[in-house]
A and B are shown apart, each in its own frame.
Chain A
Amino acid sequence: MTTPLVEVENAQLHYKVGSAVSAMFGLPSVVKAVDGINFRLNKGESVGLLGESGCGKTSVGRLLVRLEEVTGGSARFDGAEIADLKGAELRRFRSRSQMIFQNPFDAVNPRYSIKKTMAEPLGNAGIAKLEWHDRIIKALELVRLAEPEQYLDRFPHQLSGGQLQRVVMARALILEPDFVVADEPVSMLDVSVRAGVLNVFRDVRDKLGLTAIYISHDLALVRYVCERTIVMYLGRIMEDGPTENIVRDPLHPYTQALVAAVPTPNADQSHEPLPIGRGAPDPRNPPSGCVFRDRCPKAFARCAVDVPLPQKIRNRDVACHLFDEAM
């Protein structure tokens, strides 16, 4: 059995907030951005990390590229604990695991030409300067920027959002990584441009055999890109399985609400009220037991007491007491 490329076991990312004094008054002292996540990624898999704001999906992505470190549990890449990597190993990790950021205009230094921006990872990896030009051109061609030479000396503000995001992608791919985390890569782009960028992403992923995590709150986009989806809520995983199944036959009550909430370009879509309670998830004050219970239409006594563990139902993992064997 091959080792999964990415292995996350009971990972936690807790932030301390407030002071000793506020804790005395019972005010929340910890924000549990990620609270016990378990999943595995095999080489070549594309997984969508789906959830609303505050669910921890971005934090998980950052953990996997070591922009944050786990405060509990473990996150491993190719067998090695990410947070423990040092020196040459860390450098090697950096060339194998990359991130595509959400806002292209924020993700590149506005004073740098495109050439300089793309050269940065090459310089870090110790690639010979002679090769830089060719590698940069190849990467730009990979993301389908026509006539890439013209972009080299331009500056970020001279490019459109869609073009710049492709540059960001090209920069992430220039060292031919094994693993890419795409953090809502099209959410800041104009809608008419999104399809193009997503198509490029899909293409590139297939061509390079990338293992990818695609973070988004938009189920339709996740479905377009990923064959597997992990649904998160308040730092925990609710459901994990093949995207098509999750969309057609959502098992977890939260997933059901999510799927029902997505509008479609059809005039006769359902206007049924959503099967979910009002309220906004607050990572400072999550409910006890199942974190979704205060909005869940099907919650019952056990939900407030025990944290539901993931169980294999049909071909997915679902963390919900509704599926307990005892029932």
Chain B
Amino acid sequence: MLEAIASRGKIRRMFGALKVPVGDNFAVAGLIIYVLFMLTAIFAPVLAPFDPTEILYSTDYELASDLLPGQEGHILGTTSLGRDIFSQIVFGARSALLVGLTAAFMVAFIGTIVGLLAGYFGGWIDMILMRLADVAFGIPFLPFVIVISAFLEPSIWNTVIAMALVLWRDTARVIRSQVLTLRSRGYVEAARVAGSSDLKIIVRHIAPNIVPLSLLYGSIAIGWAILTEASISFLGFGDPDSISWGYMLQDAFASQALSRQAYHWFIPPGMAIIFVVSAGFFISRGYENLLFPKLGR
């Protein structure tokens, strides 16, 4: 349906300007999922029937724990501590998307700037920046995030920072090689001969060809970021004050969900993660088609 709307000229042009990839079916599906999750995250207080951290009691002064889905108005049941699972999922969307989008933005931003500078100016700038990238490549990702969380207090923002410090390396590499190619294009040289300053050349001739690539890597980074956050929380290094899907999984694990066959404890958060991360990769497919239109057709 989105496609039907998008095929109307004006909207398509607007999407085109924003480089939103509406050409691919998967990408559109990914976008829909994203929009749904974003709406969920924004309207979480309205959608969630209960406070996710609140320990609930059922009417007769008993812990409303271990309730099955559907019982006593809990759509997905409750945890062993008496917290409503559905509300947790809803609020979990917030931290997932917050982490995902922030980290992805920082990764894309840092990576692009580094790649641009290294590729365009070359020389010792290139050398220093690429050696930094080499170091970043050498750092084992998850252990590093854990260590950062251990040194600083475990919070969402520290996770994001840790990710941004390491994950920019792929983007930087790719952007750099793209810039190197562009730099030797005739029109870039012509701009130099015409007297354009470096900044002008970067902004007018190079950046427009780089942006789709940044967005591609950015959208891939969203998936990784969410997965990382979930992993960190699952391992117990996440922010204990915020409810995230990873935290829900950790809680389920700690409460021996499998042996108790309490599927409603871990399947909902697991599915949520799968959906959002996959959606991120679907969107990146759309960019791939934007960038390399002849692949696979």
Give A contacts to B, CB under 8 Å.
65-67, 91, 94-95, 97-99, 101-103, 106-109, 111, 117, 120-121, 124-125, 168, 171-172
Whether B185 pairs with A125 at a CB distance below 8 angstroms is: no
Whether A67 pairs with B192 at a CB distance below 8 angstroms is: yes
Give B contacts to A, CB under 8 Å.
185-187, 189-197, 200, 204-205, 208
Q: Which A residues are in CB contact (< 8 Å) with B200? A: 124
The majority secondary structure among interface residues of chain B is helix
| Smallest Cβ-Cβ distance to A90: which chain B residue | B195
- Among B191, B193, B196, B204, find the residue whose CB has the most chain A CB atoms closer than 10 A: B193
Known A-B contacts A109-B205, A111-B208; the reply to A67 vs B185 at CB < 8 A is no
A-B contacts, 18 listed (Cβ < 8 Å): A67-B189, A67-B192, A94-B194, A94-B195, A98-B193, A99-B190, A101-B186, A102-B186, A103-B186, A107-B187, A107-B189, A107-B190, A108-B186, A120-B194, A120-B204, A124-B196, A124-B200, A172-B193
Known A-B contacts A109-B205, A111-B208; the reply to A101 vs B189 at CB < 8 A is yes
Give complex CA distance A66, B194 in Å: 11
Q: Which A residues are in CB contact (< 8 Å) with B190? A: 99, 101, 107-108, 168, 171
Whether B195 pairs with A121 at a CB distance below 8 angstroms is: yes
Give complex CA distance A33, B53 in Å: 72
A-B contacts, CB under 8 A, total: 52
| Smallest Cβ-Cβ distance to A109: which chain B residue | B187
Task: Determine which of B185, B189, B195 lies in contact with A95 in the assembled complex, contact meaning CB atoms within 8 Å.
Answer: B195
Whether B195 pairs with A125 at a CB distance below 8 angstroms is: yes
Give complex CA distance A66, B185 in Å: 16
Q: Which B residues are in CB contact (< 8 Å) with A117? A: 187
Whether B194 pairs with A107 at a CB distance below 8 angstroms is: no
Task: Determine which of A91, A101, A108 lies in contact with B195 in the assembled complex, contact meaning CB atoms within 8 Å.
Answer: A91
Give complex CA distance A46, B271 in Å: 73
Give complex CA distance A215, B162 in Å: 54
| Smallest Cβ-Cβ distance to A116: which chain B residue | B204
User: Smallest Cβ distance from A177 to chain B, in angstroms?
Assistant: 10
Whether A67 pairs with B193 at a CB distance below 8 angstroms is: yes
Whether A124 pairs with B195 at a CB distance below 8 angstroms is: yes
Q: Which A residues are in CB contact (< 8 Å) with B186? A: 101-103, 106-108
| Smallest Cβ-Cβ distance to B208: which chain A residue | A111
Q: Which B residues are in CB contact (< 8 Å) with A124? A: 194-197, 200
Q: Which A residues are in CB contact (< 8 Å) with B187? A: 106-109, 117
Give complex CA distance A121, B185 in Å: 17
Known A-B contacts A101-B186, A103-B186, A111-B208; the reply to A94 vs B191 at CB < 8 A is no
Q: Which A residues are in CB contact (< 8 Å) with B192? A: 67
Give complex CA distance A321, B187 in Å: 43
Q: Which A residues are in CB contact (< 8 Å) with B197? A: 124
